[in-house]
Structure 1
Amino acid sequence: MRLTVSHSTCYRYDPAVRYVTQSLKLTASRFAGQRVLNWQISAEGCTISAPFVDGYGDTVYTLTASGPLESLEVLVTGTVRTQDQAGVLKDHKEKAAPQVFLRATAATKADEAIAELALKVKAANSEVSPLELAHALANAVSDAIAYAPGSTHAHTSAAEALAAGQGVCQDHSQVLISAARSLCIPARYVSGYLFADADGVPHEAAHAWAELYIQGLGWVGFDCANRCCPTEYYIRLGSGLDARDAAPIRGVHSGGGEEQLDVSVVVKQSQQ
């Protein structure tokens, strides 16, 4: 499938800021199921450094801008060709060992409820393969957390989301990651885009899911919000220990006061 992306992230500052620096993990990944045909990142009036590839295998740019700045807009446009790999991340070059993703963060630390959920799933699936156990764990998280936009916020932890019983893709992903790590299964957060869900229904284009490391198979994606593994409808950007670590844009600014953020993402299917 050939997909095009148009992604705008606009910051407005009141009063104006003196300086901005951002880390941009906004480049589509390269692996067997995703070929990047073209990709551009721009921001008028800003300096964007040459990219580097981090240990996770993700391309990272650094943006800087000197003020006074009342607004800043980061634009991403690109085209990729995707293929359904049943969620398996094949031929993705990275240096970090899977064991790196056993480390808990504040957002993914397993509390008693998450650990109990994971152990219950493992006990009910004691005779299955590691891949089948991962699927069972993802299904259990989907059952435990109802999809409810606006019910959580960017800083909601996995424990808080499970206790609330509702959330969005970020919450589904972080709870699955937390539960998997409690069973010593390496797991990580993935940010990206989604053209449509598994049934072809249009979806909010900015999306997130989890990847679990399965011995003998490698990294496998699980989207608990849509109860499926990533397909050709998905565009993968980057990964991290949690949502903050995998964020497409992370940064700081000096001076100024209130910051307003507007994001627009459109993913379309294009013809040859």
Structure 2
Amino acid sequence: MKLRVTHQTVYRYDHPIRNIVQSLRLTPSVFEGQKTLEWNIEVTGGIRGPGFRDGAGDWIEGWTVRGPMEEVAVSITGRVETRDTAGVLRGHREMINPLAYLRDSDATKADKGLRALAASVSDHADNLDLAHKLSAAVSEAIAYEPGVTESQTTAAEALKLGKGVCQDHTHALMAVARLRDLPARYVSGYLHATVDGEPHEAAHAWAEIHVENIGWIGFDAANRCCPDERYVRLGSGLDASDAAPIRGIAAGQGDERLDVAVRVEDIDKLQSQSQSQTQS
């Protein structure tokens, strides 16, 4: 599948900001499941700094914006060719030992509810089966409902509420997987459409669980599936904050407002629709 991604994040300030330093994890991962055909990053008034590939295999680059600025936009346009690898992350080069992802963070710290959910999966053939069943258990325990949680909501809080978004499903799945001694990490990226075919116009997140003799496998508990050709992978971390596509510091006083617009489109479908309209 060939996907076209457009992603714009706009920061607005009620007082001009003197200086902004950003770290961007916004470049598609390099592995067998996807190939970047074209990718462009632009930052309003930004000066691109050095880039590097970290131990997790993610490409990170620095940007500096010199003010005064009242509005800064980070814009992404690109094309990626993807294929279904049944969720397995093949050909991805990284140096971090998977056991490092058994560590908890504040977002994934387990409470009684998460411990009970992790223990509820008792009948499994092997660790791969266990990972699938843990993902299914999280899907059942947390209903997908936008607007009921916030960026700082923890896995324990989302489970107690019984509702949340992809970030909450991912944090909860990571928590229960780690409780069962399966390394797990947070993955940020994009999704072309949900399983029912409806357009998905937002950045997306899912978990990767490490299974011995196979490697890292993606699990999207929010959509009850493993990542396939509809997904574009950007990067990973211990939780949403650690894997954030944009991290930065702004020098100045005042409130910040954030607007995000993401669109992921099937290029072949767009071309087919365009040809049909031309012929008609």
Aligned to 1:100: 100
Aligned to 1:90: 90
AA of the residue aligned to 1:119:
A
TM (normalized to structure 2)? 0.94
CA distance, structure 1, for counterparts of residue 253 and residue 261 of structure 2: 24
Does the 8 A contact of 2:26 with 2:245 survive in 1?
Answer: yes
AA of the residue aligned to 1:101:
Y
Aligned to 2:277: none
3-state DSSP of counterpart to 2:8: strand
Does the 8 A contact of 1:86 with 1:231 survive in 2?
Answer: yes
Q: How far apart are residue 55 of structure 1 and its match?
A: 0.9
Q: For each residue in 1:113-157, what CA deviation from the matched residue of structure 2 results, as whole angstroms up to 9, or x when unmatched? A: 111111121x233xx121111000000000000101000000000
Does the 8 A contact of 2:182 with 2:210 survive in 1?
Answer: yes
Q: How far apart are residue 44 of structure 1 and its match?
A: 2.6
Aligned to 1:217: 214
3-state DSSP of counterpart to 2:50: coil
Aligned to 1:250: 247
Structure 2 stretches lacking a partner, 5+ long: 272-280
Aligned to 1:174: 171
Q: How far apart are residue 204 of structure 1 and its match?
A: 2.9
Q: How far apart are residue 51 of structure 1 and its match?
A: 1.4
Task: Please show how residues 164-243 of structure 1 align to structure 2 within 5 Å.
Answer: 164-243=161-240
CA distance, structure 2, for counterparts of residue 205 and residue 37 of structure 1: 21
Q: For each residue in 1:8-48, what CA deviation from the matched residue of structure 2 results, as whole angstroms up to 9, or x when unmatched? A: 01101111111111110000111001011111111131111
Q: For each residue in 1:52-78, what CA deviation from the matched residue of structure 2 results, as whole angstroms up to 9, or x when unmatched? A: 001110000111112111010011111
CA distance, structure 2, for counterparts of residue 69 and residue 182 of structure 1: 46
AA of the residue aligned to 2:64:
T
Higher mean C-alpha deviation, range 234-243 or range 254-263: 254-263
Q: How far apart are residue 200 of structure 1 and its match?
A: 2.3
1:45 aligns with 2:45: yes
Q: How far apart are residue 160 of structure 1 and its match?
A: 0.5
CA distance, structure 2, for counterparts of residue 261 and residue 65 of structure 1: 17
Structure 1 stretches lacking a partner, 5+ long: none
1:269 aligns with 2:266: yes
CA distance, structure 2, for counterparts of residue 79 and residue 59 of structure 1: 17
Does the 8 A contact of 2:17 with 2:253 survive in 1?
Answer: yes
CA distance, structure 1, for counterparts of residue 150 and residue 46 of structure 2: 29
AA of the residue aligned to 2:71:
S
Aligned to 1:62: 62
CA distance, structure 1, for counterparts of residue 266 and residue 143 of structure 2: 29
Q: How far apart are residue 50 of structure 1 and its match?
A: 2.6
1:124 aligns with 2:123: yes
Does the 8 A contact of 1:146 with 1:165 survive in 2?
Answer: yes
1:162 aligns with 2:182: no
CA distance, structure 2, for counterparts of residue 49 and residue 59 of structure 1: 13
AA of the residue aligned to 1:146:
A
TM (normalized to structure 1)? 0.97
CA distance, structure 1, for counterparts of residue 128 and residue 8 of structure 2: 37
Q: How far apart are residue 198 of structure 1 and its match?
A: 2.5
Q: How far apart are residue 256 of structure 1 and its match?
A: 2.6
Does the 8 A contact of 1:189 with 1:246 survive in 2?
Answer: yes
CA distance, structure 2, for counterparts of residue 33 and residue 264 of structure 1: 25
Q: How far apart are residue 109 of structure 1 and its match?
A: 0.7
3-state DSSP of counterpart to 2:225: coil
Q: How far apart are residue 252 of structure 1 and its match?
A: 1.3
